[in-house]
Structure 1
Amino acid sequence: PTSNIWWMGTLYGAYLFFMMIEFVMLQKEQHRTATMFGLAGLLTGVVAHSNLGAVFGLLNAREFWHGPYMPIYFITSAAMSGCVAIIFFTYLAYRANGWEFSDDIKKSLSAVAKMGALMMAIILFFTSWKMITGVTGNPPGKYEAIQALLSGPYAVNFWIGEVALGMIIPFVLILAVRGNNMRVLFIASVAGMIGIFFMRYDLVIVGQLVPHYHGMGMVDYPSLFTYSPTFHEWVITLGGFAFCGFLFLAGERLFRGHLTEDH
């Protein structure tokens, strides 16, 4: 119980359990019970995401990860990813079934988009200060990792993947249409989901690039480790995306998940 990894499995297990019960209650149209389990799932999810951030933030040996910033970052990025995922999958469901968006659905998605834009602004704020504190004073271990993102081998991932696709482009698109154009919101959600992938990829990889012996002047040892995904890792990743897509389409056909009104 003193391990964050142990708590991660326990909390995410409880999170999934509450979501499953909520889904069953919604199918049975027991909305009051579904609301109770949904609230329990929400609270458990917040704790689970913050604990996941603590898995990284409590690692003193990795300066790029270490600090109280990580649990807050994980909660905020989870809220952002949830907003863009709702827009993305709802749009796909309506287009796949040939349905038209009602005014109520448009209002709901508009509210979700505005919430997502707020989360993007907060993440951009956090990211800016993380970069500033990472280069000010050249903190050992952290400075090298930050430079790998800003101007090193992961600069394209950071500036195009994280900043442009993950924050700037969807934020500007949502504000430009004030959350009212469904097609533009879908484009923003696609950009946001790609950006979130790069956020997580860079977070995990760059945090492990700096060797523990950095700064010791050791001969014939790299100042930064290198990494590139193998063929098997690509296959597993693409297979995971395909499996999620299959489950989504199967769920639409079996449970009619988005059929909440006449179309």
Structure 2
Amino acid sequence: MTAETIDRRSTGLFMPLMLVAAAIAIVTFAIAGFALMTQGHAAFNMDANVAWGLPISTYVYFALMSSGLTLVAALAMVFGFKQYYPLIKRAIWLAIITLVAGLAVLALELGHTFRMLWAIPLNMQIQSAMFWMGVFYLLDLIFMAWKFQRMERGDWSSSLSRQIGIASFVAVLLAAGTLALIFGMMSMRPFWYDPTLPVWFYATAGLSGIAALVFFTYLSYGMNTANMPKALRLDLEGPLPRLFLAMLGITLVLMLARLTTGLYANDPGVNVVWSDYLLASGWFHLALWGGLLLPFLLMLGRGLRRSAGLQMLAAILVLVGMFIERLYFVVGGQVVPLFKGTWERDLVAYAPSFTEWVLVVMGAAIVFALYALGERLFNLSDMPDQNEVEERLEREAAAAAAG
């Protein structure tokens, strides 16, 4: 039985998923659109103090997830780690659709969804980091779609295909780095003001991208690895969970370093946010201990991290935890009143509105609908040189078992 046949068998559940998710996306878009037409930006619980709320954090969540998926794909298409070939077509498709979902949420948050299509590029605000973030993510989207089209035609390693992969990798590094600098260059927001913020964004992007790849791959095969192509199954039993564990460890160390530095910072705009806002919230503790530490512990054992169920659980915990972290990161930089000094006694209160939560559901529904469409139309487990990849993965598995 060929990988193509096996992959097509896995898509039986995706027609109902696609229809349900598409219906949810349309309904939530209509609700959000009606709220914006009747209430304007007042449909969001944001003001002069908290100008960026749940919609912006949702955009950051999906945009960095897309970046992480592209970075995972770059392991094979740029750096030549052929053992990751069974993953990269699905990773690139997920990178495309998560970026589309993030941009859709951002477009509605801006208020003038269609005006931005001509106003932003024609204004040419080249001194703005936001302008360049948009340019780089647009280039990233174009290169990813082009690379996917080349793979769909069977061109994985021609000179043009490799150059497109390299261009996508460079674009995503610039896009995610510029997104980090939008926050990290704001000296008036001490919690965000950090030249190392791009490192945090790259690490968490990689982690959320791997979690999304694990989640959707197992979803495609109903948690049954016996239905997977052999090379894909070997990848999910070896290289991918080890990479998942490594990124969990790196992210956990970076988070604890940021937390420790924040608690001991002399600047009250940093210290107070960590002590009185983040660590005072049960949701943030859930993101930290449940979304980072628990998955790390689950993936530590060699036998445990080969388990499909535990990988899926770890992926879900990370995806939920990173969503909470994005919200608390975006809002946390704004809870200290701007330019009011330490005489302002209370932190700024913010709770997302119903319309803001509708946008979150819309973004998630777009991802599920487009992923199901991709499973229906394409063989997302396709790869070149399947025998060579399988032999390499079997050698790695044997070496790991012997070690």
**Structure 1-normalised TM-score?**
0.89
Distance in 2 separating the partners of 1:5 and 1:242: 26
For residues 85 and 149 of structure 1, do their structure 2 counterparts lie closer, same or farther at Cα, with a shift above 3 Å needed? same
Q: Which residue of 2 aligns with 1:230?
A: 353
Q: Deviations over 1:191-212 (max 9, x none)?
A: 1111110111111011111102
For residues 137 and 240 of structure 1, do their structure 2 counterparts lie closer, same or farther at Cα, with a shift above 3 Å needed? closer
Identity of paired residues, percent? Answer: 29
1:202 matched to 2:325: no
1:91 matched to 2:218: yes
Distance in 2 separating the partners of 1:179 and 1:111: 11
SS of the residue aligned with 2:373? helix
1:45 matched to 2:172: yes
Contact 1:15 1:45 in 2 (8 A): yes
Structural RMSD (CA) = 2.1
Distance in 2 separating the partners of 1:35 and 1:96: 32
Match of 1:26 among 151, 155, 179: 151
- Which structure 1 segments of 5+ residues have no match? none
For residues 195 and 233 of structure 1, do their structure 2 counterparts lie closer, same or farther at Cα, with a shift above 3 Å needed? same
Deviation at 1:102, TM superposition (A): 4.1
Contact 2:184 2:195 in 1 (8 A): yes
Match of 1:244 among 367, 375, 390: 367
Greater RCO (CA < 8 Å, at least 6 residues apart): 2
Match of 2:343 among 211, 217, 221: 217
Q: Which residue of 2 aligns with 1:257?
A: 380
1:77 matched to 2:77: no
SS of the residue aligned with 1:49? helix
SS of the residue aligned with 1:141? helix
SS of the residue aligned with 1:95? coil
Contact 2:129 2:178 in 1 (8 A): yes
Q: Which residue of 1 aligns with 2:139?
A: 14
Contact 2:229 2:381 in 1 (8 A): no
Q: Which residue of 2 aligns with 1:166?
A: 291
Contact 1:251 1:257 in 2 (8 A): yes
Contact 1:76 1:123 in 2 (8 A): yes
Q: Which residue of 2 aligns with 1:191?
A: 317
Contact 2:223 2:309 in 1 (8 A): no
Match of 2:181 among 50, 54, 72: 54
Q: Which residue of 1 aligns with 2:274?
A: 146
- Which structure 2 segments of 5+ residues have no match? 1-125, 387-403
SS of the residue aligned with 2:127? coil
Deviation at 1:108, TM superposition (A): 1.7
Q: Deviations over 1:83-104 (max 9, x none)?
A: 1111111111122999613442
Deviation at 1:171, TM superposition (A): 1.3
1:180 matched to 2:306: yes
Matched to 2:322, the amino acid is I
Deviation at 1:151, TM superposition (A): 3.6
